[in-house]
Chain A
Amino acid sequence: MSDLSLMVNGKRVSGTAEDRTLLVHFLRENLGLTGTHVGCDTSQCGACVVHVDGKAVKSCSMLAVQASGSSVVTIEGLANGADLHPVQAAFKEHHGLQCGFCTPGMIMTATDMIARHPEGLDEATVRAELEGNICRCTGYHNIVKAILAASKTMAKGVKGKAKQAA
């Protein structure tokens, strides 16, 4: 057993976990953050993607103790209070989800993808970068659409802010 202390969705949390506990299980079972899902055992499906220190990470591929000292954001922490994150809003608007099981991982991956491409995204790039997230319901068509739309919305937001700053 190991003690760990980390920031999760902006709050300091500490706890004890078996050394073999994966981050995803710590989030789900110890913290009750069940929005992060487990869809496979081989780190292929991406249902468990969260952000660790600002980067998208499959939370099944790291131990909970490895996250000690880090800052983790899960799907539950993405919205700004009652306001949906633009990626969440785009998934709803463009019907980018059906059963909802892969959705948290998709949204966390998409958010990271958009942040890494401030120059904007095209369909081929979005499809290539979704390699690590599997969806069985949507055929990806509307997920791709939602990510492209969110990317545009967020770029406008950044430009708007830049203008304001100027």
Chain B
Amino acid sequence: MGIEGVGARVARKEDKRFITGAGRYVDDMVVPGMKHAAFVRSPHAHAQIKKIDVKKAQAMPGVIGVLTGKELKADGIGNLICGWMIHSKDGSPMKMGAWSPLAVDKVRYVGDAVVIVVAETKGQARDAAEAVEITYKELKAVVDATKALEKGAPQLHPEAESNLIFDWEIGDAKATDAAIKAAAHVTRMKIVNNRLVPNAMEPRAALGHYDKAEDHYTCWTTSQNPHVARLVMSAFYNIAPENKLRVIAPDVGGGFGSKIYIYPEEIVCLWASKKTGVPVKWVADRTESFLSDAHGRDHVSTVEMAFDKNNRITGLKVDTIANLGAYMSLFSSCVPTYLYATLLSGQYDIPAIHANVRTVYTNTAPVDAYRGAGRPEATYLLERTMEAAARELGVSPAELRRTNFITSFPHQTPVIMNYDAGDYAASLDAATKASDYAGFAKRKAAAAKKGLLRGIGMSCYIEACGIAPSAAVGSLGAGVGLWESAEVRVNAVGTIEVLTGSHSHGQGHETTFAQLVNERFGVPIDSVSIVHGDTDKVQMGMGTYGSRSGAVGMSAIVKALDKVEAKAKKIAAHLLEADEGDIVIENGALKVAGTDKNIPWFQMALAAYTAHNLPGGMEPGLKETAFYDPSNFTFPAGCYICEVEIDPETGTTEIVQFVAADDFGNIINPMIVEGQVHGGIAQGIGQALLEGAHYDASGQLLTASYMDYTMPRADDLPSFKVSTSNTPCPSNPLGIKGCGEAGAIGSPPAVINAITDAIGITDIAMPASPSTVWAAIRAATKH
């Protein structure tokens, strides 16, 4: 490892622009002639649109255009789609309700976009939006998924009877039922996974520019996957063929899943640019983000976990209802199915598993992947149940987990996944040691003397990352392949550009990807540029989500680097009059092994481009392309331990210690990996203690600003103790597993297990706010 190579703690190349205010986000973009858009959104959760009167708005100062869904439909703009087909257990396809980018006849959630106003200034657009007169006939709304399934509930879409999107199952029901019947002990729980709002700090934004002379569109947008955006907008929304649509995702201020999807606003801004003849920019304000960004989680489940007399799990039965909101967002269907139920084996050897999942429409914002996507829900369900089981069985939570760990690999679970490598006991040992798990009783006693309730909780998570083998996901219903592409261009002076289909919105790709090149060729990272986020520059790629940029994106780069290296060695061998097999790359030069004959990297590159003296038949230049399709998912895993102190007088929970021991396989830059874990843990603690999206019964979002939705602040969190162990992933060339989501997956159950331990109760709702905790303490003391 060099000082800039793989494994080095290199400070980030991209930081300079961010710390000096020179980052370029969509809202910073200015195009000549650019005007501003505001959307008129539904104030009702469920209503028929009787009439839209835009006359007053059109006459307002500065107004350029006021456009409705009828006009949009007349121009042939398509409905939004969900790109992952799931079939119900009866074989019927999922019931996708029509979602027009601007509502035409009916609105189905508060925030549903109805009209776009384009004006000279943002202020004028907003003033005019307020002057649009829409007559609604209000309908009864339903926001709770369980209630939406009940007879007589308001019906959202004619396509979906009883609001049921699909009723899906996985695993062996018979074997699982038999295991439960024969069990020495069964732990039964109801598990609620609270609805969250992702809240990337940069609100969503879009700038659509139609160039009439070229009949060409450009869209700057806050996207984690600009190529997927272009594909979908071309193939399904009929904006323009791909060669006439350029999508640029410049600096993007966080995503966490919420910027994977193609939303109505970017489609409408592009269309409105053509209609009005001006470039149209829209930037969400925070309340718009709360109302219209895809939300996360919102599961209600029942679980039965069966044990034999040796405390080994013999069966797991799960029934889940997942709220998908008013419309099916782009990947909403795979989150509560293949990203959730396939992880229900956790780190444990469970012979029989069955899960049934019903997904449901409600009059709420669409729900899709949010950091972890399905895997936090699976982990929360399992790890809460394990903790409850340990208490019921009277055994140590750590030992119950250890008893059931999978210890040999590969391991085929009953729910599709084939775990390739791991050492779960190593993470458990590391976490118990770092947290002084054994010394907890003393700390609890000391806290009790201060009048505080101290509790400890653990969580052993596994996730599936490196999403995903294309043929596998294709067979499960995905509408796309989930490979990644890379192009490596060696310039004539030896500097290098890497073009990647991955997109960095905080992950530090400009540094880690350059470290990879440095490791291979010895070129300083300052001489390596990473290009991403522009469909005109970068060939088709699939983007960044599911902790895939390392395991999949960098593997594609490795493949391209292999090709570059092979050609570079051929050129060097020719120039040095040596055998190609004897050439090694060391310290920025290509050398004949065992001799002092060498040619510096830049000279070899120059030779490739002067082409004066290349091996016979070789094409000039040094530029290679590769596509990498993973052969398996990767399986990061770890153990998190949380310790809390609760003040019984106020119900305030303080996290006094948080330990994370993760196995991410090989690591490119430990500093960046630790940062990813810190951020994930903060979001997980946020879910457990602070965050919750609440709709009232009429469908109004009560938590639609930072005054109502509690984002984790610095003083809500401790410093974290993080460490990693390493069982390299065998399925990709770098042995990387991925680290982006682990923190958010592993932490919520650890926190709730600690709180329930402190109070001496079985369950508490997330977020465990002071009032909820206070009430739980009161209820527990009454009994």
Contact = CB atoms under 8 A, between A and B. Distances in A.
Interface of A: 18, 20, 28, 32-42, 44-45, 47, 74-76, 78-79, 84, 88, 91-93, 95, 97-104, 107, 123-124, 126-128, 130-131, 133-145
Interface of B: 11-12, 14-25, 27-28, 30, 123, 199-203, 251-254, 256, 283, 285-287, 505-508, 671-672, 674-675, 678-683, 705-707, 711-715, 717, 719-720, 743
Given A47-B201, A135-B201, A140-B717, A38 B675 contact: no
Given A98-B506, A104-B19, A136-B683, 19 more contacts: A34-B24, A37-B202, A38-B27, A39-B201, A39-B203, A39-B253, A75-B19, A75-B20, A92-B16, A95-B672, A101-B254, A127-B715, A130-B714, A131-B714, A131-B715, A134-B201, A139-B720, A141-B717, A144-B719
B183 to A, nearest CB: 40
Contact of A95 (B17, B123, B675, B714): B675
A28 B205 CA distance: 16
A92 B15 contact: yes
Nearest to B9: A95
A130 B715 contact: yes
A134 B713 contact: yes
B507 A98 contact: yes
Contacts of A99: 200-202, 251-254, 505-506
Contacts of A104: 18-19, 21
Contacts of A141: 675, 678, 717, 719-720
Contact of A41 (B21, B287, B507, B682): B287
Nearest to A100: B18
A39 to B, nearest CB: 5
B19 A84 contact: yes
A135 to B, nearest CB: 7
Nearest to B256: A136
Contact of A142 (B23, B25, B123, B675): B675
A35 B20 contact: yes
Given A91-B15, A92-B11, A75 B201 contact: no
A36 B705 CA distance: 20
B679 A137 contact: yes
A37 B19 contact: no
Contacts of B506: 98-100, 137
B18 A40 contact: no
5 contacts: A32-B30, A41-B286, A128-B715, A139-B720, A142-B678
Contacts of B15: 91-92, 97, 100
A34 B25 CA distance: 9
A128 B720 CA distance: 17
Nearest to A101: B253
B19 A45 contact: no
B11 A93 contact: yes
A140 B714 contact: yes
Given A97-B15, A134-B201, A18 B22 contact: no
A83 to B, nearest CB: 11
B201 A139 contact: no
A41 B674 CA distance: 31
Contacts, number: 184
Nearest to B202: A101
B675 A36 contact: no
B678 to A, nearest CB: 4
A78 B19 CA distance: 10
Contacts of A107: 19
A95 B200 CA distance: 18
Given A47-B201, A92-B12, A100-B506, A39 B19 contact: no
Contacts of A136: 199-201, 254, 256, 679, 683, 711
Contact of A134 (B251, B671, B706): B706
Nearest to A92: B15
A33 B123 CA distance: 19
Contacts of B11: 92-93, 95
Max chain A Cβ within 10 angstroms of own Cβ: one of B28, B505, B715: B715
A95 B22 contact: no
A111 to B, nearest CB: 12
B123 A20 contact: yes
Contacts of A88: 19-20
Contacts of B202: 37, 39, 99, 101
Contacts of A39: 201-203, 253, 286
Given A47-B201, A130-B713, A97 B19 contact: yes
Contacts of B201: 37, 39, 45, 47, 99, 101-102, 134-137
A78 B678 CA distance: 28
Given A38-B27, A131-B714, A100 B507 contact: no
Contacts of A102: 201, 253
A103 B23 CA distance: 10
B178 to A, nearest CB: 44
Given A40-B706, A136-B254, A139-B682, A76 B21 contact: yes
A90 to B, nearest CB: 9
A91 B15 CA distance: 9
Contacts of B715: 124, 127-128, 130-131
Given A95-B11, A95-B675, A100-B23, A139 B717 contact: yes
A107 B15 CA distance: 13
B25 A37 contact: yes
B258 to A, nearest CB: 11
Contact of A34 (B27, B285, B505): B27
Contact of A100 (B251, B712, B714): B251
A24 to B, nearest CB: 11
A128 B715 CA distance: 5
Contacts of B507: 98
Contacts of A36: 21
Nearest to A40: B286
A159 to B, nearest CB: 25
Contact of A126 (B27, B287, B682, B714): B714
Contact of B705 (A41, A91, A103): A41
B22 A143 contact: no
B679 A138 contact: yes
Contacts of A93: 11
B332 to A, nearest CB: 22
Contact of A98 (B21, B22, B679, B711): B679
B530 to A, nearest CB: 15
A131 B706 contact: no
A137 B20 contact: no
A59 B48 CA distance: 41
Contacts of A103: 18-19, 23
B713 A18 contact: no
Nearest to B678: A139
A99 B680 CA distance: 14
B714 A127 contact: yes
Contacts of B28: 28, 34
Q: Which 3 A/B pairs are nearest by Cβ-Cβ distance?
A: A35-B21, A100-B18, A101-B253
Contacts of A101: 23, 25, 200-202, 253-254
Given A40-B705, A91-B15, A98 B20 contact: no
Contacts of A42: 286, 705-707
A44 B711 CA distance: 10
B253 A100 contact: yes
Given A18-B123, A141-B719, A45 B678 contact: no
Contacts of A37: 25, 27, 201-202, 253
A58 to B, nearest CB: 12
B15 to A, nearest CB: 4
B706 A76 contact: no
Contacts of A41: 285-287, 705
B502 to A, nearest CB: 15
Contacts of B203: 38-39
A9 B23 CA distance: 18
B513 to A, nearest CB: 16
Contacts of A40: 285-286, 705-706
Contacts of A124: 715
